[in-house]
Structure 1
Amino acid sequence: MNSKCIYMVMMAVLRLMLTSAQSCPFHMDIAPCLCTEIGPSPELDMDCSHVVDIDQLMRVFQADFPSTNYRRLSMTGTPDDPIPISFLPDGVFGSITFQEIVIQHAQINRVDDYAFLGSKDTLTMLTLIHSELTSFPTTILPLLSDFRELDLSYNHLVFIPDLRSSSLRSLTLAHNTQLNFSDRVFDEIDQIIDLNIAHCNMETIPPGMFLNMMNLSTVYLEYNKITHLDAASLHFTSEVIEEVVLSGNQISAAEPNFFSGTGKHTYLELLNNQITTLGEASWRPVFHAISEHGDGLVMLDGNPLDCGCSLAWLVTSSSFLSHLALGATCANGTAIHDLNPSAFDHNCGR
């Protein structure tokens, strides 16, 4: 037997010895990725933060894997040194399945339609943030049977097609400043609990956008460019709504019937907007719903509120006023809670 054959036999024996007592592949076969065994079971994690190109990543997943079932794949770069991969093609992970995939600070601008298809029965969470995505293949979502959490924040998404998933619980699209979508984008993700579309330069909230989300608990819409709350823009059918956050927008007016359908503990947060008038037709139903249902709160700190007679309906109602956060002030800095109800009764003919 020549020396080359002897070397190959020795390497095969070495691999067998190294993998017989563990589930991770031979470390040289998957370099620069690292496999780690977690816990007594054990579960397996893979870290591929140091791959240099897509060819290297694909070669890693063509290695001999004693186990093909992994808990997590991590690929983490830094703002100054992002992972130098520009796309994830179909089949990139070979036969390896993951429950969680976390990719951050990469140069990825494209994900093929079925790059994650191998994990269709196992994937529960995908985080692909601080990258350069302009689109995302939402066609994969209905095929992921137990998929619960998707985070695509801090990308360059231009358009998200209408979404469809019977299992998705958390969706984060924040910090995609050119993002567009249809009025019905969320109609078929009715199991959503947490929705975050903050910092996306949204200018309007389409009426009825949230009506199909019967389990919705929190919706974050802060720091967009919303100027008006149109009728039915904040209509909900979830009795477990806890937070509706619209702080840091440019909201100056709200139409009657803009808000309805919340539960007992809803916080409506409108900090640092441009609201001057709390018109009774628009706002009384909000305070009535919150005070009638439980311990909800309206937060209006940082708005230049007009404290004339148009506010008498609120100031003269101790019940309504108890559901206004203490930081709300008039345009002159006077706290709403410090206003004298008797003065409104006397001067406003109530």
Structure 2
Amino acid sequence: MEGRLLIVILVSLSSWLSAGLTHVQPDFNDVTRNLERHHRIKDVQCPDPQDILPCVCIYEDVSDGLVLDCSQVQDEEQLAEIFLADFPSKTFQVLNIINNTGLRLLEDGVFQDISFSEIYIQNSALEEVRDDALSSSFSTVNVLNFQDSQVFSFPFHRLQEFTILHSLYFERNTLHYLSILVSSSLKRLYLSENPLGTATGDTFKNLTVIAVINLDSTLITELIPGVFDELEMLQELSLVMNHISLVPTGAFNLTFSTAPSVRIDLASNNIDKVEEGAFSERKMWPAEEQHQPAVHLVHVQMSLGLKNKNISTD
């Protein structure tokens, strides 16, 4: 104990003497980081504020990029006019259009050549997103969030062109139909509280890295076997508060899964029968190394909304 205390005192004394005799040397790593940040800020410049009113552009330290807020835009015409202005920087981190009641349509090419990494159009009157409305961000956007809007039309058939999109939020909109979804990047898909009805067998099968699908309150009445097959990375599937009464054989075939566990939530439905083989899971995965015990690959956690507690799941 005494030895440790002595070391601390000596180090402190040495530091004090050094400070008195020499100048403190700069931390060149800090200098380099500050220079790099300065150059980034210099490289990313906002447009003239007067040219993009009522949009507002700021540099945000948290995201280390430009944020464009167009929440006060009046209509489609004004939004299109704003993006005809001179934008010194073409790459933005975030686009926000929040609590907007004037914008109902995103026209083809509305953002010109300006791209975004994250787009949030929430609690809005937006109803339709045209096929090429987001084309300038096909290769840059990783989050699309349209929560609490009125969207009934979105180019889902072009989903694969969003090459790094990993999260798509459409909770509480008015989507009635999903085309076949194709993506090698999408990991999270939230579609709760849309009047979708029953999904077809091919709707999700081409989402090759999907981990989370939320279909709560989407008016699903029937589980069609095969809809959730071949989703190797699936970890969570939520079907809460629908109108499902039967879980048929083959409804959830998880023999393809490579995830360590899969949570399937069917709470708050009207289920009165679960057929034998409704949940097919691959129980064991051969060990990669000799003498190493095999591990459980898939453990299904079920939350069933059963009408009758005495229902048999044969």
Aligned-partner Cα distance in 1 for 2:69–2:151:
21
Aligned-partner Cα distance in 2 for 1:276–1:187:
33
Structure 1: gaps of 5 or more residues: 1-18, 283-350
Aligned-partner Cα distance in 2 for 1:41–1:216:
29
Aligned-partner Cα distance in 2 for 1:189–1:131:
24
Post-superposition Cα deviations, 1:248-279, rounded to whole Å, max 9, x if no partner, equal 00101111100122645432112x43144353
Aligned-partner Cα distance in 1 for 2:62–2:200:
47
Aligned-partner Cα distance in 2 for 1:49–1:204:
39
Residue 246 (structure 1) aligned with residue 269 (structure 2)? no
Post-superposition Cα deviations, 1:46-91, rounded to whole Å, max 9, x if no partner, equal 11111111111111111111111011101110xxxx4211110111
Structure 1 match to 2:291 = none
Residue 259 (structure 1) aligned with residue 279 (structure 2)? yes
Structure 2 match to 1:66 = 88
Distance 1:46 1:232, change over 3 A: same
More relative contact order in 1 or in 2 (CA 8 Å, sep 6+)?
A: 2
Aligned-partner Cα distance in 1 for 2:218–2:198:
9
Does the CA contact (< 8 Å) of 1:159 and 1:180 recur in 2? no
Does the CA contact (< 8 Å) of 1:222 and 1:249 recur in 2? yes
Residue 127 (structure 1) aligned with residue 127 (structure 2)? no
Distance 1:28 1:20, change over 3 A: farther
Deviation at 1:21, TM superposition (A): 8.5
Does the CA contact (< 8 Å) of 1:161 and 1:181 recur in 2? no
Distance 1:219 1:22, change over 3 A: closer
| 3-state SS in 1 of match to 2:117 | strand
Code of the aligned partner of 1:258: A
**How many equivalent residue pairs?**
258
Code of the aligned partner of 1:60: I
1:37 to 59, 66, 69: 59
Code of the aligned partner of 1:73: L
Code of the aligned partner of 1:125: V
Deviation at 1:239, TM superposition (A): 3.5
Q: Show the 5 A alignment for 1:203-214.
A: 203-214=221-232
1:104 to 103, 122, 131: 122
Structure 2 match to 1:16 = none
Q: Show the 5 A alignment for 1:200-349.
A: 200-236=218-254, 237-240=256-259, 241-261=261-281, 263-270=297-304, 272-279=305-312, 282=314
Deviation at 1:98, TM superposition (A): 0.4
Aligned-partner Cα distance in 2 for 1:149–1:178:
19
Aligned-partner Cα distance in 2 for 1:40–1:147:
20
Distance 1:255 1:265, change over 3 A: closer
Code of the aligned partner of 2:302: L
Code of the aligned partner of 2:88: P
Aligned-partner Cα distance in 2 for 1:129–1:206:
27
Q: Root-mean-square deviation (CA), in Å?
A: 2.0
Aligned-partner Cα distance in 2 for 1:131–1:42:
28
Code of the aligned partner of 1:245: D
Aligned-partner Cα distance in 2 for 1:179–1:46:
36
Structure 2: gaps of 5 or more residues: 1-40, 283-296
Post-superposition Cα deviations, 1:297-332, rounded to whole Å, max 9, x if no partner, equal xxxxxxxxxxxxxxxxxxxxxxxxxxxxxxxxxxxx
Distance 1:179 1:112, change over 3 A: farther
What's the TM-score, normalizing by structure 2?
Answer: 0.77
Code of the aligned partner of 2:89: S
Code of the aligned partner of 2:156: T
2:70 to 16, 35, 48: 48
Aligned-partner Cα distance in 2 for 1:40–1:104:
21
Does the CA contact (< 8 Å) of 2:198 and 2:219 recur in 1? no
| 3-state SS in 1 of match to 2:270 | coil
Deviation at 1:143, TM superposition (A): 1.1
What's the TM-score, normalizing by structure 1?
Answer: 0.70
Q: Show the 5 A alignment for 1:45-194.
A: 45-77=67-99, 82-194=100-212
Does the CA contact (< 8 Å) of 1:221 and 1:247 recur in 2? yes
Aligned-partner Cα distance in 1 for 2:51–2:124:
23
Does the CA contact (< 8 Å) of 1:155 and 1:175 recur in 2? yes
Q: In percent, how many aligned pairs have the same letter?
A: 29
**Higher strand residue share:** 2
Distance 1:193 1:116, change over 3 A: same
